[in-house]
Each structure stands twice: as C-alpha cells, then as structure tokens.
Structure 1
Amino acid sequence: MENELGKIFAILREAKHLTLKDVTANEFSLAQESKFERGETSLTIDKFLLLLQNTQLSLDEFQDFYDNYSLSEDYTFHDELREAHRIKDLNQIKKWMYYWKEESEKNSDKKYFKLNYIVSKVSLASTAGGKPAKNDIEILMNYLDLVEQWGRYEIWVFSICQHCLDDNMLDYYGTEIFDKSSYYKKVQQNQQMVIRTMLNLADTWLYRKKLGKALVYLNRVKTIGIPIEFFEEAITLRYLEGHYRYLLGDLKGKQIMQDCAKDIEKYGYTQAANELYEEIENLETL
C-alpha cells in the first residue's frame, strides 16, 4: 500500500494543477515529496495529512479514490461478496472462503483474516438457504461486542450476519449499530453503509412480519436523512414503506412497490427491477 499511496496522490495533485511546492508548503523538501509520489519512500502520517490539507482533500475522499483506483483486496472482497450474495453466486463466495481460509492459516497473527474466513462461511450458508454454524456467529458477535465504535468493517460484518440472528439478537445489535457507529457516521461512505444496514434491518423485520420493529428502522432512516446522491437507498426506503403499508392491509402499498420497481428499471437496473417484480408477484394475498 505504501508504494501506491504516493502514486495515487500524484494523480490527484496533478488533476488539481498543483505543484510539489504548492502541496508541501515549505514544510518538508520537494525531493522527499517527489520520492513519495514515485513510490520510493513513505511519509509520516503528519506529513501525509498536511499534503491532503494543502490539496483540499479529506482523508475520506482520498481513501475512496484509493479503493476505487487500486481495487484493494478488502474493497474487492466486500464488493464481490455483497454482489455474490445478491445474485446467489455460491461459487464466488466459495472462492473467497477458500482464499481467506488459506490466508488465515498462513498468517495466524492477523485476526481479521480469520474473521473474513468466518464471514465468508456465514455468507455461503445463508446464501444457500441454510443456517451458519452457531460457533461462527458467536465468534463474529463477540468481536463486534469488543469494538466500542464500529467503522466500515464492523458495519459490513454485521450486515452479513444480521439475517442469521434470532429476534432478540437482531433487536439488540440493531440498537448497537445506531449507537456504536455514531462517531463515524458523518463520513459519507460510513453514513451510506449505516443507512443500508438500517434498511436491511427494516426489510428483515418485514419478512418476519414484525411490523412495529420494521417501523422503528424506517423512521430511523428518515431521521438520519438520505442525501440526494444516495439514489438506491432512497428508492429502497420508499419500496419498504410500500411493503409496510401492504402488510398493514393497505393495497396502495403494493402499487408503491411496483412504482419503485419501474423507477429502478427506468434507470437501467434491469436485473434489480426484475428481482423486485418477482418479490411483488410472490406477496401473500391480503
């Protein structure tokens, strides 16, 4: 990662038409900055933060660009596992499961390798329609209990596990995520992950016909507020509100769900729209 940081920073600096002198601001040498950008040396965190400040970049913006540009292993893993679960691609999940199993055996000192292996196992079991091993769920929940403030990784772990939890555990950890992510939730990507998880919680409670619990999370999402750029989350909220109304006996709720599917289709997300149409078709008759 060290060798890539400087090269990626150079792309962003040049895109803003800034010189080496502009970003170092005489705080350290141009030669040191030049070597950093060529991937030949690293910088202290203080100097790196100074570079970001002088480039008018937030750390979160840089991290997001880095993830998308370099396709880091964690970024790729999280993205591919989420998509594989959505389309029920068991082979893709198995590929990651075997990968992390091997990595955890080679690097026993790196705890998150084992956690990623267990997350993959849980995802595989739930995607295949089975139940994950109780011990695997306990390991992940114990890890989450020990972390006082959840960042993206912890929110992601919970999102994988939530459908496997019983009502009491789901209720408990659903409250925990709202409290434990408070420190980080102002970061845009974290905020998006929290909103998605709240929506998934509402969807899980609707599936379990616990309408009061579902309403709690729908209202929490509205309290947080969905930024205009979070198109998918805004449509999902409206869709789930329609489902909630339908389960209450209001037939207009089904029409709201259909309108959401049409909106998704109109914007080119054909597969996602078809999945919604299928779900609506399978709704129980009131």
Structure 2
Amino acid sequence: MNSYKYSEENIAIGAVYKFLRESKNFTQKEAAGEEISIPQLSNFENGKTIVGTQHFIVLLRNINVEMFEFQNAYNQYLKNNDILFFTVRISEAVMERDVAKLKLFLLQVKKLLSMNPNSKRLKIDYIWIKSVLYFVDTSYILTKNEEDVLISYLFNLKEWGIYDIRLLGTCAQFIDVLKLAELTQRMINPIQMNIESYHIKHAMIQCILNIINIFVEKKIFEPARRLILYLENTEIHDYFMFDKLTLIYNKANYSYQKGDPNAIEILDECLKILEFCDCSKTATQVFKEISNLKN
C-alpha cells in the first residue's frame, strides 16, 4: 500500500478537480473516459494519489474545463497560501484608490519573502505589487536593486506568459524607455509558442496600450507610433470594445501631443462614450487627463 503523504497543494489538485467535475454534473466514469480507471480517478480526487500531467490535461478536457479555469479555482481553494489569488482584488483596489488594502497585500508578500529570501517568484511578486501601489501613492518607487531584478527577469524571458506580460505593463513606468521599447518588441516576437493564444493576445494588447500611453506622456513618439501601428494591424475583437476605444484614445492623444489640435475632439468623444457606458471611475481619470492637456 502506498503510504506516501502528499502535500496540501498536491491534495488540493484532486479536491478542486472533484469540485469542478461535480459542479458540471460529470460522473467519474465520464470524467475518466479512456484515460485512467475509475478507481484511479477516485484516489486522485480523494488525495490518495496524483496523476501525471498528460493524464491531467485530458481529464480536464473530459469535463470541459480550461487550464486557466482550473488554476483560478485552485488559487481560490488555497487562498490562504497563494497571494496571487488577490490579483483581481489588487486591480479593484487600484481603481478604488484603496491604499490600505494594497499595503496589506504588500506586507503579506513581504512576510512570505522573509521566510523564503531566495525565492525569485516572491521577489517579482513584491516588485509587481509595489509597482501597483505607485499608481495610488507615488512614494512607492522601486529601488535600484529592485529595478535590476525586474530588468534581469524580463530580459531573460524566452517565452512570455500572462503573468510576465502583466508585469511589464504594470512596471513599465520604472523602466528606461530604450529598454522598455526593446522589451516590448521581445514580448510581441512572433516566434513565441503561445503568442496566438486568446488570453496571451488579449493581455499583450492591454500591456501595449499602457506602454503607448507611457511613451506619449514622455514624448517618446517614434516607439509609440510603431506600437499604435502594430495594434491597428492586429485584429482586436469587437468583444473587447474597451481596448478598441483605448487605442482610439491613445492615438488621438499621440496626435494631439504631436501638434494636431483637432485630436482633442476625439478625446472628448471617447470620454462621452465612457460616461454613456457608466464607466465612472475610468471616465473620471480620463476627464482629468484631458483637462490637463487642455490646460
């Protein structure tokens, strides 16, 4: 008999799978299919054994669950141990300008880092959340050492995942513009394995939109122009109307700051659309930006 004691994280994989299977009303026989036996699946779901990665991918497919959906459910299951579960809450805290909540997240990561000082992942998590805090409290700037860790991590990437893309988009204001331009080109390198993935492509679009805005604010126009052209040649799906609107806004902002006074009318139209759609928080931010431009 196998008496091996699996970790809480390993046991959670089976428990979360069982929850998703039952939630979708699949029997163990239907979920196991031809991949593994029903007793094997039962042992996996009850934390007695684990299954290989190849089997697990098929088991997810058998109950119509995508890997990212499983990851989200898994993070929620381990919410006391996985700080990345707070990603969505952090974004909400930024929009609400809730500094206290963001500081709490930062302290949680700092505590984990103190227990694992050599963890590259935790170091990057800390830098990411600190960069997020900068949007609501500009006293939170990265140290030279933190900038070096960030730059080293990003420049050594050969395959960019969603985490890495969001990291670049969030921390872009701390990166030298020449390095930022190079990193952006590396991110959109067409030879990457997952570049055509729906979720990767959407994350890239949002990241590039943020970087365009940074270049325009710093009046670094040529990289901004190239990225605007890149997005215009990218088929942004109509489902992502906010991204399409942001591209129109960024292009008009670029044109206005390049000397076209008529572009302010497009910015005003974008603001009206945001107000019409009741995007009050974003509309307030855009109103301030346009007012500063006019003044």
Letter of the 1:268 partner, please give it. Answer: D
Instruction: Give the alignment of 1:243-282 within 5 angstroms.
Output: 243-282=253-292
The separation in 2 between residues aligned to 1:265 and 1:92, in whole angstroms, is: 27
**Structure showing the higher helix proportion among its residues:** 1
Unaligned runs of 5+ residues in structure 2 are 1-8
Corresponding position: 1:152 with 2:162: yes
Say if 1:180 and 1:151 are closer, same or farther in 2 by CA, change over 3 A: farther
Question: Could you give the per-residue CA deviations for residues 241-286 of structure 1, whole angstroms, max 9, x where no partner exists?
Answer: 221232233344222222222222322321111211221122145x
The separation in 2 between residues aligned to 1:262 and 1:65, in whole angstroms, is: 37
The separation in 1 between residues aligned to 2:159 and 2:190, in whole angstroms, is: 5
Residue aligning to 2:117: 108
Say if 1:258 and 1:3 are closer, same or farther in 2 by CA, change over 3 A: farther
Instruction: Give the alignment of 1:213-252 within 5 angstroms.
Output: 213-252=223-262
Residue aligning to 2:137: 128
Report if aligned partners of 2:154, 2:183 keep a CA contact under 8 Å in 1: no
Q: TM-score, normalised by structure 2?
A: 0.83
Corresponding position: 1:167 with 2:171: no
Say if 1:119 and 1:16 are closer, same or farther in 2 by CA, change over 3 A: closer
The separation in 2 between residues aligned to 1:110 and 1:59, in whole angstroms, is: 25
Q: Tell me how far 1:159 sits from its aligned partner.
A: 1.9
Say if 1:264 and 1:11 are closer, same or farther in 2 by CA, change over 3 A: farther
Corresponding residue to 1:24 among 9, 27, 32: 32
Corresponding position: 1:187 with 2:197: yes
Q: Secondary structure at the match of 1:263?
A: helix
Report if aligned partners of 1:140, 1:157 keep a CA contact under 8 Å in 2: no
The separation in 1 between residues aligned to 2:202 and 2:165, in whole angstroms, is: 11
Unaligned runs of 5+ residues in structure 1 are none
The separation in 1 between residues aligned to 2:241 and 2:167, in whole angstroms, is: 23
The separation in 1 between residues aligned to 2:257 and 2:129, in whole angstroms, is: 33
Report if aligned partners of 2:155, 2:183 keep a CA contact under 8 Å in 1: no
Residue aligning to 1:89: 98
Say if 1:231 and 1:34 are closer, same or farther in 2 by CA, change over 3 A: farther
Report if aligned partners of 1:25, 1:54 keep a CA contact under 8 Å in 2: yes
Question: Could you give the per-residue CA deviations for residues 189-235 of structure 1, whole angstroms, max 9, x where no partner exists?
Answer: 22221111100111011111222221111122222321222232122
The separation in 2 between residues aligned to 1:181 and 1:254, in whole angstroms, is: 38
Residue aligning to 1:36: 44
Q: Tell me how far 1:166 sits from its aligned partner.
A: 2.4
The separation in 2 between residues aligned to 1:75 and 1:262, in whole angstroms, is: 35
Say if 1:242 and 1:39 are closer, same or farther in 2 by CA, change over 3 A: farther
Q: Tell me how far 1:135 sits from its aligned partner.
A: 1.6
Residue aligning to 1:177: 187
Q: Tell me how far 1:148 sits from its aligned partner.
A: 1.6
Corresponding residue to 1:50 among 34, 58, 66: 58
Q: Secondary structure at the match of 1:96?
A: helix
Report if aligned partners of 2:212, 2:250 keep a CA contact under 8 Å in 1: yes
Question: Could you give the per-residue CA deviations for residues 5-54 of structure 1, whole angstroms, max 9, x where no partner exists?
Answer: 33443454445543322221243221222343455543221221121233
Q: Secondary structure at the match of 2:189?
A: helix
Report if aligned partners of 1:202, 1:217 keep a CA contact under 8 Å in 2: yes
Q: Tell me how far 1:144 sits from its aligned partner.
A: 1.6
How many aligned positions are there? 285
The separation in 1 between residues aligned to 2:189 and 2:163, in whole angstroms, is: 16
Say if 1:182 and 1:26 are closer, same or farther in 2 by CA, change over 3 A: closer
Percent identity, please: 25
Residue aligning to 2:13: 5
Residue aligning to 2:5: none
Q: TM-score, normalised by structure 1?
A: 0.85
Instruction: Give the alignment of 1:196-211 within 5 angstroms.
Output: 196-211=206-221
Instruction: Pick which of 182-191 and 38-47 moved more.
Output: 38-47
